[in-house]
Amino acid sequence: MRTEVGYAGGDEIDPTYHDLGSHAEVLQVHFDRKELTFEHLLGLFWAGHDPARNGRGSQYRAILLCENEAQLDEAQRSIADLERRLHEEVRTEVVLGRPFYRAEGYHQKWKLRQRRALFAEVASHFDSEEELLRSFTATKLNAIAGGNMRTSEADALLRQLRLSNTGRELLQREGLGPSHARGPNR
């Protein structure tokens, strides 16, 4: 799985951060359907925000963009189930087939970028910044840097990434190394 941030849900073509128009800031998730189900992603999505609120304005509204009718049907079923459990109306916007516009490069992997030395060290192992940003490694390190991964998961992942000694030292210095990762369920 990997992620990209961008803009979607609006009518304008080629929005930018400074000219979003009616678009929302969104996260696009690329995943292997053999390894991860859309149902599982929906569970993470609903758990990640308050579905009874629709956010602040157009740019930050809660929106779920489905790429096909099957996803839309599954999302609508999950909304009905969620409304039964919450006894509240789900106000998250759910739409089909709206184009995704990738955000400017400096927005990609934002939490990892804030750790400049670590970002530079990790980037040195890729042929281009674009290759890094589209990598599993950057997606996972960004999640760890943002505190969005359980410590046990982060520890196991960090062991798998085969970082250089410098990379491991930077992780430790940043408080992100094994047994230091922040996040729920430490």
Instruction: Write the pLDDT tens digit of every residue in 10-62.
Output: 999 999 999 999 999 999 998 888 999 999 999 989 988 888 887 667 888 88
User: Distance (Å, rounded) from C-alpha 90 to C-alpha 128?
Assistant: 41
Burial 134-152 (b: 16+ CB within 10 A, else e): bbebbbbbbbbbeeebebe
Q: Quote the domain boundaries for residue 122.
A: 109-173
Q: Is residue 180 part of a domain?
A: no
Q: What is the pLDDT of residues 94-150, one digit of tens each?
A: 999 889 999 998 999 998 899 888 888 888 888 998 898 888 888 888 888 887 776
* Pair (42, 130) in one structural domain: no
**Would you say residue 184 has pLDDT above 50?**
no
The amino acid sitting at 152 is: S
**Would you say residue 179 has pLDDT above 80?**
no
Residue 158 CB neighbour total at 10 angstroms = 23
Q: Three-class SS of residue 139?
A: helix
Tell me what pLDDT residue 183 has. 44
CATH code (residue 10): 3.30.1060.10
Tell me what pLDDT residue 165 has. 78
Q: Which ranges in the chain belong to alpha helices (H)?
A: 38-47, 69-86, 110-113, 116-123, 129-133, 136-145, 151-160, 165-173
* Pair (78, 154) in one structural domain: no
Tell me what pLDDT residue 181 has. 44
* Pair (96, 117) in one structural domain: no
Bridge-based pairing of strands 63-66 and 93-96 is parallel
- Poorest-confidence range of 62-66, 108-112, 155-159? 155-159
Task: Count structural domains, the chain.
Answer: 2
Tell me what pLDDT residue 142 has. 86
The amino acid sitting at 89 is: E
* The domain boundary residue, chosen from 75, 102, 129: 102
